[in-house]
Structure 1
Amino acid sequence: MRSEPLRHLASTPASVVADRDLSDEALLDIVQRQTFRFFWDFAHPTCGLARDRVSMTGEGNDLVAIGGSGFGIMAVIVAAERGWITRDDALGHLTTVVRYLGDVPRYHGVFPHFIDGRTGATVPFGAKDDGGDIVETSFLIQGLLCARQYFSGRSAAESDLRRAINRLWQEVEWNWHTRGGRPVLFWHWSPKHGWAMNHEIHGWNECLVTYVLAAASPHHAIDAEAYHRGFASGPDFKNGHSYFGIKLPLGPPLGGPLFFAHYSFLGLAPKLLSDRYADYWEQNRRHVLINYQHCVHNPRGYRGYGPDCWGLTASDDPGGYEAHAPDKDLGVIAPTAALSSLPYAPAECMRALRHFAHDLGDKLWGECGFSAGFALDKDWYATSSVAIDQGPIVVMIENHRSGLLWTLFMSCPEVQHGLTKLDFRIASHDV
């Protein structure tokens, strides 16, 4: 059983967030801290991992998200660095998490998408998705490697944590997901259904970090060919078209959902990275600005859209859960889309944040920060927050403020090796 945190974080009410006299730094601090509560006060009580979702009042269930837990590990590091929790509390919490992960069923070292937080048992994501998910695993490992780099002290507790993280990292059989050496990674494998889902990971999307870690693996690495012939292929990889006068190097028409610019880049520092395909800072910055301009131009006439209300990405919506994007715009704004884009477009993102806080906070703000989305046309507001939305808010705001997670992840020797192997140009270790 997970021991309770030594100290819970006090909740900040919507009336405080709505204070127009707050400085940008003060507002960012409140948003990060309240959002972090998702991964601390409302983590699963048995294992300390991140629930898939938590209601605005703090209620959750036993469904734990592996990728979201990776984001949550990074959020715990932010909290320790900012002093919201003690370093010892963070170390104890992550030690519990990592020990629990060591007992969770894995498939060639690969974690499933969901687990039961009480038992560790795999919870199928779909009919045939009941085994290893290499992408969710990469998001978890991204967080774990940041924790390994952060807890670099000589104490027995920090040394033990690093060793446990290394065991999990080194046991992932990334090359198993090439199906015997094919030049591409496959997303899923099931002990019951094998490769039946047959989902190749290619085209520009959220999976760059998956390929980097697969290339970087100390014992189960993929060849560079899988990145160049696999990931960097398909109709949605290269773009080169202009939208609203902004030329987009990679991705589907109009860029796709904004989580493409977030999930891999919680750790990978885009300011440092370029390769034969793109400068990744420019790729992400332009993607964000195209998403912003789409909402400003508002071709479908949705109520509320504009310079202070924008951001399309995967989120809850009145019909369930959708990967919203300019070419799949259903009228739903997700606060995580703009808030997690802060490094790329600070002025536009701060304007959206102040609108969410000042004008909509009484409907959007809850125990874990902003909820998953809203649609003003339908007078609809999500009633819960989601791990893969909340984690990037904490982490990307921190990367904007201090570069903390970028610095930690890019300091991993294996990451540097993987990037070099894939022929990335790495500008500097200074974020």
Structure 2
Amino acid sequence: MGLIGGTALSTVAMPEAIAAGRTQVSAKAQTPPVRLSREDNAFLEDLTRRGCMFFIEQADPVSGQVLDRAANKVSTGDFDKDRSIASIAATGFGISALCVADRRRYMPTEQVKTRVQATLQFHLNKLPHQHGFLFHFNNVRTGEPFGFSEVSSIDTAIFLCGALTCRAYFNDGTPEGTAIGELATQLYDRVDWQWMLNGGDTFAMGWRPASGFIRSRWNHYCELMMLYLLAIGSKTHPVDPITWDAFTRPPMVYDEYSYIGGADPLFVHQFSHAWFDFANKRDAYANYFENSVTATEAHKAFCLSLGRGYSDDYWGVSASDWEHGYVAWGGPPLMGPVNGSVVPSAAAGSLPFLPAQCIQTLRAMKDRFGVDAWGRYGFCDAFHPELLWYDPDVLGIDLGIGVLMAENLRTGLIWKTFMQNPEPVAAMQLCGFQSE
């Protein structure tokens, strides 16, 4: 499927009923004022276009499911036939990225609508589920869950964020747009959030057919915010807003930086922020946008403190591939075998939080290592130049967070679109968010 070059923007009409339902909390995204140079914009355009290409080319055209990973050093956009594992999280990022692809005219609008509608239909009618929750990993063509896969609460939430983004973006009065909206609503409305609480006040991480609920719970601050807010805002199976107070918010202190967090990779401060607009708002506990700014500052300072080749032009480690497989690593505090590798999605996913610093390191890494680290879909997932190791693959979720955050930095598109949905707005109100 070909791409259309250029960056011209198209206009998408939003239904008056939703627009009229906005409140102070859901006012237009308060994107921090950022001045980007022509060179910065050109770089971000290339990064965005290449990332969107992954979600266009590495999705099955029938199921719409996106491969969990694919080869990056390829010359054509052929589907990676050596891979069969799709992830619902990659698909959630992917259908959100299709909205970016449409707005920037990388792909004809009718083709985008057809792809989104097919994806939502497949996930609603053919993909196995439990009480509306989806299996994490599935066969990209058939949708059959892999034996190692769990029914995942957080990955279902990521997929639903993508579906609701498409519902708002394509709510343009056309038959295709109406169908997309109805499918997204059905997918969201069928989720029985109470079931995933499993009798507790925090969500289980998932469920397995052979053993039942996973014992681990989403009980401390991380990427879980989207999960709780979607559940609280549900019109069909809502949970009590008191669950927003049930997870802990551990205080973190590193050097001069104090913020809410945990011993988790950097992406936990990014993922919910790809869709929910937390800028210039706070609840009883924090301004979570500013919290992510501080967490990113602390992470950069942590990387530089290690030595190991890190500098202002080379920093950022988040859950990713490394030479020996997949690892959750980073800091502070030190997690995993951080050895001087860099993970480009760490900076790309924090673009709205530290624009100048993240663009600096991303551009510098492309300029210095681009021959080896840059491919058809942008940066490879991770690399370690001193060891002459460059990941041959890209990962859908890591490309996805970069695409969405780059677009949010430039235009606020995903924030403004997702927050047209009344359910996230209502959930944030119920959780006590107020504009600052």
Counterparts in 2 of 1:266 and 1:359: CA distance versus 1, 3 Å:
same
* Mapped pair 1:280 → 2:280: no
Q: Deviations over 1:348-369 (max 9, x none)?
A: 1111111221100011111211
1:90 to partner: Cα distance: 1.1
Q: 2:96 aligns with which of 74, 94, 113?
A: 74
For residues 238-276 of structure 1, the C-alpha deviation after alignment (integer angstroms, 9 at most, x for no partner) is: 2152x231222x1125xx322112211110112143111
Contact 1:142 1:267 in 2 (8 A): yes
Shift of residue 386 of structure 1?
A: 0.1
Report if aligned partners of 2:4, 2:105 keep a CA contact under 8 Å in 1. no
User: CA RMSD of the aligned region, Å?
Assistant: 1.7
Query: In the alignment, what sits opposite 1:88?
Result: 110
Taking structure 1 as the reference length, what is the TM-score of the superposition? 0.88
Work out whether 1:264 is the aligned partner of 2:272: yes
Q: 1:136 maps to what in 2?
A: 155
Paired letter, 1:251: G
Give the match for residue 16 of structure 1. none
Aligned to 1:112, which of 112, 127, 135? 135
2:93 pairs with 1:65? no
Q: Secondary structure at the match of 2:408?
A: helix
Letter paired with 1:117: V
Establish whether residue 190 from structure 1 lines up as the match of residue 195 from structure 2: no
Partner of 1:14: none
SS at match of 1:363: helix
Q: Does the C-alpha gap of structure 1 residues 88 and 45 become closer, same or farther in structure 2, counting only changes over 3 Å?
A: closer
How far apart in 2 are the matches of 1:279 and 1:379? Answer: 41
Aligned to 2:373: 364
Q: Structure 1: give runs of 5+ residues left out of the alignment.
A: 11-20
For these two proteins, the number of residue pairs brought into alignment is 394
Name the structure 1 match of 2:258. Answer: 247
How far residue 62 of structure 1 moved from its aligned partner, in angstroms, is 1.4
1:422 CA displacement? 1.9
1:142 to partner: Cα distance = 0.4
Q: Aligned partners of 2:268, 2:305: CA distance in 1, in Å?
A: 22
- Contact kept, 8 Å, 2:51 with 2:403, in 1: the verdict is yes
* Contact map agreement 1:44 1:64 (CA 8 A) in 2: no
Structure 2: distance between partners of 1:44 and 1:390? 17
How many Å separate the matches in 2 of 1:334 and 1:288? 14
Deviation string for 1:357-411 (max 9, x for gaps)?
1100011111211110012342211110001100011100000000000111112
Q: Distance in 2 between matches of 1:162 and 1:421?
A: 24
Tell me which residue corresponds to 1:290: 298
Correspondence for 1:123 among 146, 155, 168 = 146
Which residue of structure 2 lines up, in the alignment, with residue 18 of structure 1?
none
Question: Where in structure 2 are the equivalents of 1:334-413 lying within 5 Å?
Answer: 334-413=343-422
Q: Could you tell me how far apart the structure 2 residues matched to 1:31 and 1:403 are?
A: 16
Partner of 2:31: none
Partners of 1:161 and 1:347 in 2: CA distance: 37
- State the alpha-carbon separation in 2 of the partners of residues 77 and 273 from structure 1: 25
Alpha-carbon distance in 1 for matches of 2:169, 2:106: 16
Measured against aligned partners, the alpha-carbon deviations of 1:315-348 in whole angstroms (never above 9, x if no partner) come to: 1001211112121234321011101211111111
8 Å contact kept, 1:44–1:62: no
Retained in 2: the 8 A contact 1:324–1:332?
A: no
**Partner Cα distance (1:93, 1:198) in 2:** 36
In 2: Cα distance, 1:361 partner to 1:170 partner: 44
| Residue in structure 2 matched with residue 324 of structure 1 by the alignment | 329
Distance (Å, rounded) in 2 between the aligned partners of 1:277 and 1:266: 20
Aligned partners of 1:24 and 1:278: how far apart in 2? 31
Distance in 2 (alpha carbons) for counterparts of 1:96 and 1:222: 30
- Give matches, 1:146-225, under 5 Å: 146-180=165-199, 182-195=200-213, 197-225=214-242
Q: Greater CA deviation, 220-229 or 156-165?
A: 220-229
Structure 2: runs of 5+ lacking an equivalent: 6-36, 75-79
Number of the residue aligned with 1:101 = 123
TM-score (norm 2): 0.87
| Contact 2:63–2:142, Cα closer than 8 Å, also in 1 | no
SS in 1 for 2:86: strand
CA shift, 1:86, in A, is 2.1
**Paired residue type of 1:184:** T
Mapping 1:9-48, distance limit 5 Å: 23-48=39-64
Tell me the percent identity. 28
Report what 1:17 is aligned to. none
* 1:336–1:390 contact (8 Å) kept in structure 2: yes
CA offset digits 1:105-139 (Å, max 9, x no partner)? 00111001011111111114x4xx53x21100000
Distance between the aligned counterparts of 1:247 and 1:272, measured in 2?
Answer: 19
Q: What's 2:243 paired with?
A: 226
Task: Report the residue type matching 1:57 in the other structure.
Answer: K
Q: CA deviation at 1:221?
A: 1.1
